[in-house]
Structure 1
Amino acid sequence: MSLPDTAQRAPFLATLRRIGRLAWPYFQSEEKWKARGLLAAIVALNLGVVFMLVQINEWNRTFYDALQNKQLDAFWQQIGRFTWLALVYIVIAVYKFYLTQVLQLRWRSWLTDHYLARWLANKAFYRMELARFTGDAAQVPDNPDQRIQEDLNIFTDSTVTLGMGVFNAVVTLLSFVGILWTLSGPLSFHAPAFLGGGEWTIAGYMVWAAVLYCVVGSVIAHFIGRRQVGLNFRQQWLEANFRHHMVRIREYSEAIALDGGEAVERRQLDTRFTAVMGNYLRLIRSQKNLTWFNSFFGQAAIIFPMIVASPRYFSGAIQLGQLMQISSAFGQVQSSLGWLVDNYMGIAVWKATSDRLAGFEESLGQQSRPNEDFSATHEAGGIAASQLHVALPDGHTLLADGRLHVAPGETVLVTGPSGSGKSSLFRALSGIWPHARGQVNLPADTMFIPQRPYFPDGPLRDALAYPQAATHYSDEALQQALRNALLPQLATQLDRADAWGQKLSGGEQQRLSIARALLKRPAWILADEATSALDEAAEATLYARLVAQVRQAGGGIVSIAHRSTLGPFHRQRWTLTPTSDGGSASHHLDTATADAPDRTPGATPTMGTKA
């Protein structure tokens, strides 16, 4: 499996535009006034924090002047003033933190709801998985569960935190650069010969010193840490693949145990985990190098303004209070200008996460588009299709220009060799196959019974009634459906919660799926190898009940099967057979009357194909 790396290489400005497209919908949603109100409150509180820092900076000058002059009354007065300043600062800081977390919570909740709705709408979740395993995996986002659960959390947290960080840095810079300019005064020196000699004077030299210090630091930090964006992107991908493989082992635990595949799976897990650890080691080495620099940069910033401003202090031009105020103001300016240095690792994680979400967003947009070449209706009168074209994801044709009709009361058995397209035909009829075009009519009262049914974890009654709510049915109806599906031992366990997809055997799962059909009593049933795990006696009993039910409801049944034992339950047989069409794969669907003693004249499905 190759790393999908197209997103991580996007230019930074393009990434910012993509992030804007991810972020802006929330602030235009039905929650826009709450979102904008929270954002405005957080901005105001950030301004309040900067204002308090300016007041504390001014306090530094008065307090240290009092210390230098040994003014006891002024000393205690400034202690009292600092108490009030600190108290107000703490209140503002606490509410800034709280409202920031509330905004992140609301934003994440809205985004999660938004993406879950889009992922589950228009079969996008199915099409994305289908494209991933049958198409170009590098162009399809991996692990949508991680992107919705983890990446959205990181994105909202990082966007608010870093966004407010930038805003705070800009406001702090604008607030303190004037103070530092005024306090630092001019610096005069004799220029060396290569600069032309003479006397030079630099106004506000401490500001220029801070700018030079931070520009040099930012360039070095970017040079050291630039690999972290790609490494973080890859780390998230590798972690998700490692977790995904463990989920697959849980899902196929019985098959792996029967095959004795533990050693193979351990090697697969070891390979994935080794990749996780190898990339993580490279990431922490890069972070170590950046931490070395950040530590030196931060510690040097403490003493650097003292060194630069000390000549004026020792010459008597400024007092201790002004020196401390210069140091404090320089620290605020340096912190603002050095914001990139201090937050480079967080920016790397944020960019990698945003790139993953942007790729997910683009894929959702593509996979959720309706198939304009396919139209479906849900009118009564039977199953019908015209000009039906069914292809594989690689473009090879399975069925061309198909025409079919299944009248009420009819039963059809679809046969053919494995890979001939029987299941793809069913998917096309259901409207979920993206590689189909044509017109299909499927009565609204139609139910599909797959070979591998899905059961949600929880009470048995919910698994039986899925996807409807179990409250739609009485306990008597639920229990009778289980007994009719040859599962009497489960009839008394409706309220038992379990992982039914793993708890039940393959045959029991198929019988529970048939119990759904017997419970809901649809007029039309499309069954894809729905009894392949059952013995012949159970299969005969259940099919007799299904056929009787659909005939009583005035519908019909279309089945896919390889076993000949289902022949007597179907009046018609459609056989998909491979044909040759200039080297491309295509199939012909032959229709014939099956040997069935209860055949009713006048209800014959028809189908034609172009090979």
Structure 2
Amino acid sequence: MRRLGSFLRDAWRIAGPYWRSEERWRARLLLGVVVALNLSLVGMNVLLSYWNREFFNSLQEKDAEAFWQLLFLWRQTESGPMPGFVFVAALYILIAVYQLYLRQALQIRWRSWLTTQVLDRWLADRAYYRIALTDPGTDNPDQRIAEDLRFFVDNTLALGLGLMRSVVTLASFILVLWSLSGPATILGLTIPGYMVWVALAYSVLGTLLAHWVGRALIPLNFNQQRVEADFRYALIRFRENAEGIALYGGEAGEKRGLVDRFGAVIHNWWAIMVATKRLTAFTATYAQAAVVFPFVVASPRYFSGAIPLGGLTQTASAFAEVQGALSWFVDNYAALTEWRATVKRITGFADAIAAARGAAAEGAGVRAQAEPREDLVLEDIHLALPDGRVLLEGAAAEIGRGEAVLLTGPSGSGKSTLFRAIAGIWPFGRGRVRVPAGASVLFLPQRPYLPLGTLRRAVCYPRDTAAFPDAAVREALAAAGLGHLAARLDEEDAWDRRLSGGEQQRVALARALLVRPDWLFLDEATASLDPEAEARFYTLLRERLPGTTLVSIAHRPAVAQYHRRALRVLHGRLVPAAP
């Protein structure tokens, strides 16, 4: 019970905020209508049980007039005025259609709100980056956002409404069954409403057996979601790096890796199949037995003449409804295990986001602090890798506004990591970076990020495309040597795969010319360009952005001529060097 209580609290942690949000009144109204329609279906089933009794009684009595009236018109019966089946069926269908339609509307509104909230928290304080570095156990955030949230919303509504309908069905039909079943005498003991107690015993036994048979599905469903996501991620990574794999001729190795990951999917799936087979064997047996069981239990009263044929069918129907309501857990056990696995993955993801944002708020790692100043100051910077290996110790430097500074050093010495620390995103280390308040900053890595969408969006990133007039975008593109792509500015494509490495770096140059940052950090941003194009790149930056502070990481000696001074990372120290 303690574990159940903890699980339900976790589920409410995910669900509760939506019902207290700015959309709460619309959501509650929509849910109220869905609940009302759901309960109306229960009422329709009660009505149909009485209609069914009168209909079968008309057959037993060979009353043709009653037969046709109960089908197409209405008839006054012992149960009261009874509408024709065509009217009952038409109303039932209308209610069922709109109950499903409005439930789906609630599902997409809830999922939309929940996805937006999770995305906001995941992106805030660069939690996504910190999680990727510090919490490898939080795997496949794409799946947790795209798939797990959908599963949670869908299953929460389906299971919740189903449970509510079962409770109301139980309350409605248990009275019907009690009135129909009459007393039974067993070993001298008279038991009133005996079929109610039989249905209760049958359902409790089935529930206990279902949990015992199917409990292995809980960890298996959790693991299946993980291995499926791992396999999908490997395929996506293969697609994104298709050119490199082709150039290396690495198909055989990639296939081995993909087959291994898919092998984990198959292995876990076989385990699920075995567990599901056992559970299905039980639930199918349980369901088939439930078809005839109420007739067997009620047959003594029918054969004794205590109830007519219609009474027998209504008794069996009421028993089936009561037994079905009490067997909700049995019928939904597989869905419950999937729901529990989904809740566990979402809460784990939410906890990882909270921990990452908490670490950022506490200033874990190098702290970037905005101050009313003109220069950038590094104070006692210590940097390490996630495995604890120290890259930089006690680094200190000052970079004035408008300077051009070159940062050099051996590969792997920590130059790019120092840039990450200046950006305030590196969590492994300590120290302080004092940056000018209100200054615009742009980082251009060796492999520029090109977002999904149009080429215009890629050039304007991270600003909105509406921030720049069309002429400015085309001019920046032409200045960067990509004028031939101007006609394709509004064309959507996978530009990170369509453009060569050098062309992608030219897009980054056009981006810098458009954004005109106060501080520009280039991490081997010209490594894919030929020497002439590289010279043109830096010349453009100095001509077009004369007031921009320029800090570059580069290995080519020719880049030094575009910088006034240099710093070098050597043996874990940051020292002055000749440009």
Q: Paired residue for 1:332?
A: 321
Q: Offset of 1:487 from its aligned partner? A: 3.2
For 1:534, the aligned partner's letter is L
- Separation in 2, partners of 1:111, 1:331: 38
Q: Offset of 1:69 from its aligned partner? A: 2.8
Residues 1:85 and 2:68 aligned together? no
Q: Paired residue for 2:179?
A: 182
Q: Paired residue for 2:11?
A: 19
Residues 1:463 and 2:466 aligned together? no
Q: 1:514 aligns with which of 500, 509, 514?
A: 509
**C-alpha spacing 1:492/1:95, structure 2 compared with 1 (3 Å):** closer
Contact 1:176 1:329 in 2 (8 A): yes
Q: Paired residue for 1:99?
A: 102
For 1:185, the aligned partner's letter is G
- Separation in 1, partners of 2:228, 2:120: 25
Q: Paired residue for 1:416?
A: 409
Residues 134-175 of structure 1, C-alpha deviation per residue, up to 9 Å, x if partnerless? Answer: xxx22xx21111111111111111100100010011111111
- What is the aligned-residue identity percentage? 49
Residues 268-304 of structure 1, C-alpha deviation per residue, up to 9 Å, x if partnerless? Answer: 1111122212222322332232222222211211111
Q: Paired residue for 1:74?
A: 66
Q: Paired residue for 2:292?
A: 303
Q: Paired residue for 1:44?
A: 36
For 2:45, the aligned partner's letter is L
What is the TM-score with the length of structure 2 in the denominator?
Answer: 0.92
- Separation in 2, partners of 1:296, 1:528: 66
Contact 1:65 1:321 in 2 (8 A): yes
Residues 1:524 and 2:519 aligned together? yes
Deviates most, 156-165 or 490-499: 490-499
Contact 1:371 1:434 in 2 (8 A): no
Residues 1:109 and 2:107 aligned together? no
User: What SS does structure 1 have at the residue aligned with 2:118?
Assistant: helix
Q: 2:529 aligns with which of 526, 531, 534?
A: 534
Q: Paired residue for 1:603?
A: none
Residues 1:288 and 2:283 aligned together? no
Residues 1:568 and 2:561 aligned together? yes
Contact 1:48 1:92 in 2 (8 A): yes
- Separation in 1, partners of 2:537, 2:59: 95
- Separation in 2, partners of 1:436, 1:379: 25
Deviates most, 252-261 or 394-403: 394-403
- Separation in 1, partners of 2:179, 2:451: 69
For 2:362, the aligned partner's letter is E
For 1:495, the aligned partner's letter is D
- Separation in 2, partners of 1:46, 1:92: 8
- Separation in 2, partners of 1:446, 1:487: 24
Deviates most, 160-169 or 273-282: 273-282
Residues 1:558 and 2:551 aligned together? yes
Deviates most, 290-299 or 14-23: 290-299
Residues 200-226 of structure 1, C-alpha deviation per residue, up to 9 Å, x if partnerless? Answer: 222221111111111121222222221
User: What SS does structure 2 have at the residue aligned with 1:442?
Assistant: strand
Residues 1:54 and 2:46 aligned together? yes
For 1:384, the aligned partner's letter is V
**C-alpha spacing 1:52/1:562, structure 2 compared with 1 (3 Å):** same
Contact 2:368 2:423 in 1 (8 A): no
Residues 1:386 and 2:379 aligned together? yes
Residues 414-458 of structure 1, C-alpha deviation per residue, up to 9 Å, x if partnerless? Answer: 122222211111111111222344432334132211111111233
For 1:507, the aligned partner's letter is G
Root mean square deviation of aligned Cα: 2.1
Aligned length, in residue pairs: 561
For 1:590, the aligned partner's letter is V
User: What SS does structure 2 have at the residue aligned with 1:16?
Assistant: helix
Deviates most, 12-21 or 24-33: 12-21
Aligned positions of 1:357-372 closer than 5 A: 357-369=346-358, 370-372=360-362
Contact 1:547 1:556 in 2 (8 A): no
Q: 2:573 aligns with which of 567, 572, 588?
A: 588
Contact 1:379 1:441 in 2 (8 A): no
Residues 1:489 and 2:478 aligned together? no
Q: Paired residue for 1:584?
A: none
User: What SS does structure 1 have at the residue aligned with 2:283?
Assistant: helix
- Separation in 2, partners of 1:122, 1:528: 22
Aligned positions of 1:20-419 closer than 5 A: 20-79=12-71, 80=73, 81=83, 82-132=85-135, 137-138=136-137, 141-190=138-187, 199-369=188-358, 370-373=360-363, 374-377=367-370, 379-419=372-412
- Separation in 1, partners of 2:67, 2:527: 90
What is the TM-score with the length of structure 1 in the denominator?
Answer: 0.87
For 2:527, the aligned partner's letter is S
Residue ranges of structure 1 left out of the alignment (5+ in a row): 1-9, 191-198, 579-586, 596-611
Q: Offset of 1:496 from its aligned partner? A: 3.7
Q: Paired residue for 1:601?
A: none
- Separation in 1, partners of 2:490, 2:293: 71
Residue ranges of structure 2 left out of the alignment (5+ in a row): 74-82
User: What SS does structure 2 have at the residue aligned with 1:441?
Assistant: strand
- Separation in 1, partners of 2:47, 2:518: 78
- Separation in 1, partners of 2:406, 2:531: 17
Residues 1:505 and 2:495 aligned together? no
Residues 467-518 of structure 1, C-alpha deviation per residue, up to 9 Å, x if partnerless? Answer: 1233333344323323332334334443343222111211221122122112
